[in-house]
């Protein structure tokens, strides 16, 4: 059997792809007690709560001695699109623990995973450094940005995957072929590995349509809370309920962009306050014009003067009238000009995705409807629905493992989708089979 050591394992999404008779998970480590508890319960593998920056990690590496594969979904918050991009975030350096593990365990292959922003932020300097550092200890490193939707996961989720193989081997690693097509979404940078319906990148003649939210969770509509993990955090607060009820499939609460996908705060007066028809015309006019370059070059949009607003609305508008909208918190002042208050904080909250499309990227905060609401129900996705969207099988239990509801959502949102992991493991199996046929390696023992 091929021995595997897993670092930064979380609840085991990446490990689950390597959980079969070909592989033997020798050890798994994470500094999150809830993650280790969940992984141990479901995968029944040796695992520990461990800080990889501690001396205990060095002791563990000495005890393990060797492994055929090292897996590592090293933390990525410093690169994530969902948070500040901090070049000096100490979590950006945690891959060095994986570098140490690979250097000491000397695997035939290692797999690293991170957010796709790693390839773009800071001009890709971290990618170059990772490749150089692992190259210095004897590994050829390749990377690709893979979208989980192209591997049967009902979710748009792009991740950068690093594959490192020993320079002493002549065998090349073959990346997994996609099984489904799916587009690059608005706002995402394009890559040479994007897969579309007519893509010939992988010499595929037929690709299946992307799996939808409906296909993944429709049967759960008839299930109650007795079904494993089919629960949400708590009942919705009144204002959350009113907002979610006002948003249709494919829409979101957004004052920044004017389109059919946006619902504006002034359209929900029961939550955000009443407005007159004249006030709504003023707000809509500001919203439609604030991003036009003629009024400035602020990336998120430009405040407009009273004169410009009056001219655009063809209304005789006074400062007092606009100040009333400031008091109502619909507008804010900026150097004697006015902009929508929601232009900064109401940018894509309370999304309700389309039932017949893949899910947006599953996040750790999906227990709250402020981030994503169920397409058909007035509530967030349940734990089990989020797990399905990440492609976890139903026999992978979260609450039953003894962790909290909030921890369950968090661990699911941080996980590598198991179906994507399985595609990678199939390619790894092929790699080891070819190595064995070439007599280029022998497998290490899995016994400790």
Return the active site residues: 76
Q: Any idea what the Cα angle at residue 57 is, between residues 90 and 159, rounded to 5°?
A: 50
Q: Any idea what the Cα angle at residue 347 is, between residues 346 and 352, rounded to 5°?
A: 95
Burial of 345 (0-12, 13-18, 19+ CB in 10 A): exposed
Q: What is the CA radius of gyration of the chain?
A: 25
**Cα separation of 153 and 416, whole Å?**
11
Any idea what DSSP says for residue 47?
E
Beta strands 69-72 and 109-115 are parallel
Beta strands 337-340 and 331-334 are antiparallel
Three-class DSSP labels, 3-28: EEEEECCCCCHHHHCCCCCCEEEEEE
H helices within 79-228, ranges in order? 95-105, 125-136, 213-217
Closest CA to 428 of 170, 163, 167, 66: 163
Alpha-carbon distances of 280 from 71, 283, 303, rounded to whole Å: 54, 5, 17
* Long-range contact set of residues 365-368: C-beta below 8 Å, sequence gap at least 24: 365/409, 365/413, 366/409, 366/412, 366/413, 367/232, 367/233, 367/405, 367/406, 367/409, 368/233
Closest CA to 16 of 33, 35, 32, 83: 35
Cβ distance 231 to 378 under 8 Å?
no
Tokens representing residue 209 in the block = 């349509």
3-state secondary structure of 350: strand
């Amino acid at each position: 059997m091929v021995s595997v050591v897993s670092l930064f394992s979380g609840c085991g999404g990446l490990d689950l792809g390597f959980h079969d008779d070909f592989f033997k998970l020798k050890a798994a480590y994470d500094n999150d007690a809830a993650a280790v508890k969940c992984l141990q319960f479901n995968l029944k593998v040796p695992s520990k709560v461990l800080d990889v920056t501690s001396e205990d990690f060095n002791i563990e590496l000495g005890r393990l001695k060797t492994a055929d594969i090292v897996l590592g979904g090293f933390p990525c918050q410093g690169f994530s699109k969902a948070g500040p991009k901090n070049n000096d975030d100490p979590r950006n350096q945690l891959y060095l623990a994986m570098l140490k593990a690979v250097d000491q365990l000397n695997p035939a292959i290692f797999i690293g995973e991170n957010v796709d922003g790693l390839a773009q932020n800071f001009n890709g300097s971290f990618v170059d450094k990772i490749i150089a550092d692992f190259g210095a200890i004897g590994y050829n490193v390749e990377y690709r940005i893979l979208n989980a939707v192209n591997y049967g996961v009902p979710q748009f989720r792009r991740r950068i995957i690093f594959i490192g193989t020993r320079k002493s081997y002549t065998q090349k690693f073959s990346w997994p072929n996609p099984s489904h097509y799916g587009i690059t979404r608005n706002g995402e940078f394009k890559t040479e590995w994007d897969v579309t319906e007519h893509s010939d990148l992988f010499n595929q003649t037929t690709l299946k349509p992307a799996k939808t939210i409906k296909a993944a969770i429709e049967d759960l509509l008839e299930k109650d809370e007795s079904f494993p993990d089919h629960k949400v955090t708590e009942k919705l607060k009144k204002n959350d309920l009113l907002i979610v009820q006002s948003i249709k499939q494919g829409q979101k609460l957004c004052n920044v962009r004017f389109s059919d996908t946006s619902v504006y705060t002034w359209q929900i007066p029961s939550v955000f306050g009443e407005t007159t028809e004249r006030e709504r015309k003023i707000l809509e006019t500001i919203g439609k014009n604030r991003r036009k370059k003629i009024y400035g070059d602020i990336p998120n949009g430009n405040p407009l003067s009273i004169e410009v607003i009056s001219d655009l609305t063809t209304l005789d508008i006074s400062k007092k009238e606009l100040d009333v909208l400031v008091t109502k918190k619909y507008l804010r002042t900026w150097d004697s000009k006015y902009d929508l208050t929601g232009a900064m904080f109401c940018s894509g909250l309370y999304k309700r995705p389309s039932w017949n499309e893949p899910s947006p990227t599953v996040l750790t905060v999906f227990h709250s409807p402020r981030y994503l609401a169920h397409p058909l129900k007035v509530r967030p996705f349940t734990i089990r629905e989020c797990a399905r969207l990440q492609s976890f099988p139903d026999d992978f239990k979260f609450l039953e493992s003894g962790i909290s509801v909030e921890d369950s959502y968090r661990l699911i949102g941080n996980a590598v989708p198991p179906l994507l992991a399985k595609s990678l493991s199939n390619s790894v199996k092929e790699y080891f089979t070819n190595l064995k046929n070439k007599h280029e390696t022998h497998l290490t023992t899995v016994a400790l």
